[in-house]
């Protein structure tokens, strides 16, 4: 995982776009892995980004917003942050418990809702044909 920026707003934590990369051999395995382990992926991103907070007691606050972007190749931090909709961007997984923050979906993406989780598959990704 790279480039996780978390901050506190009131009595909750907001995590801004942590980037995660996955290396399976086939695109079908990436899709199956994300659909099966989306909760584990977000839990891992929350856990590792809360470790980087300034004060230790911030770790125990509730996470009100997180959007994890999943890539199929490893890139540098500066390429991940301002890359836009590149071909190696697979999807984004978001949880929004905040009333003030609006959900931002990928343009041209395919949305899947699973309870409070929103998985938006990138329309520019090379393996998008296997999603639907």
Residues 54-97 pLDDT 10s: 888 888 999 999 999 888 866 655 555 656 667 678 889 999 99
Backbone torsion region of residue 80, taken as left when φ is above 0, otherwise alpha when ψ lies between -120 and 50, otherwise beta: alpha
Residue 122 has pLDDT above 90, yes or no: no
Domain count, the chain: 1
DSSP reduced 3-state for 115: coil
Q: CA-to-CA distance for 28 and 128, rounded, in angstroms?
A: 10
Domain containing 91 equals 5-130
pLDDT of 130 strictly over 80: no
* Core vs surface per residue 18-48: b (16+ CB within 10 A) or e: bbbbbeeeebeebbebbeeebeebbeebbeb
Distance CA 24, CA 60 (A): 33
Q: What is the pTM of this model?
A: 0.83
**47 in Cβ contact with 96 (< 8 Å):** no
Cβ neighbours of residue 83 closer than 8 Å, sequence gap 6 or more: 75, 89
- In angstroms, rounded to a whole number, what is the distance separating the alpha carbons of residues 20 and 26? 17
Does the pLDDT of residue 121 top 70, yes or no?
A: yes
- Mean pLDDT score of the chain: 82
For residue 27, pLDDT over 70 is answered with no
Q: Is the per-residue pLDDT at 24 higher than 80?
A: no
Does 125 or 112 have the greater pLDDT score?
Answer: 112
| Residue whose tokens read 């290396």 | 23
């Amino acid at each position: 995982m790279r480039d996780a920026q978390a901050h506190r707003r009131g009595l909750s934590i907001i995590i801004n776009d942590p980037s995660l990369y996955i290396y399976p051999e086939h695109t079908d395995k990436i899709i199956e892995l994300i659909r099966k382990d989306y909760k584990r992926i977000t839990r891992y991103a929350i856990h590792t980004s809360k470790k980087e907070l300034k004060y230790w007691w911030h770790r125990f606050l509730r996470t009100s917003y997180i959007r994890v972007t999943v890539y199929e190749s490893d890139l540098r931090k500066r390429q991940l942050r301002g890359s836009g909709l590149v071909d190696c961007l697979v999807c984004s997984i978001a949880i929004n418990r905040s009333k003030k923050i609006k959900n931002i979906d990928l343009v041209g993406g395919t949305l899947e809702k699973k309870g409070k989780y929103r998985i938006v598959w990138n329309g520019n990704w090379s393996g998008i044909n296997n999603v639907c």
